[in-house]
Amino acid sequence: MSMDRDRDRGDRGDRGDRDGGRMGFRRRRYCKFCEDKVVNIDYKDADMLAGYVPERAKLAPRRISGTCAMHQRKLQTAVKQARNIALLPFTTE
Partner 1 sequence: MTVQSPRFYETVFISPPGLAEDAVEKIIGDVKDTFVSRGAEIVRIERWGRRRLAYRIDKQQEGWYVLMHVKGPGTAVEEVERKMRINEGVLKYLTVRLDDIAGAVEHAEQRIVRMAREEEERKVRAAERAQRDEERVPTDVDEMGDDDDEGDDR
Which residue in 23, 27, 28, 37 binds partner 1 (CB under 8 A)?
A: 23
Give 61's DSSP letter: P
Give 90's DSSP letter: S
Asked if residue 76 binds partner 1 (CB under 8 A), the reply is: no
**SS3 call for 18:** helix
Work out how close the CB of 10 gets to partner 1 at its nearest, in angstroms, rounded to a whole number: 19
Asked if residue 5 binds partner 1 (CB under 8 A), the reply is: no
Work out how close the CB of 32 gets to partner 1 at its nearest, in angstroms, rounded to a whole number: 16
Distance CA(75)–CA(8), nearest Å, equals 41
What are the backbone dihedrals phi and psi of residue 33, each rounded to the nearest 5 degrees, phi first?
Answer: -70, -35
Q: Which residues bind partner 1 (CB under 8 A)?
A: 18-19, 23, 39-40, 42-47, 81-90
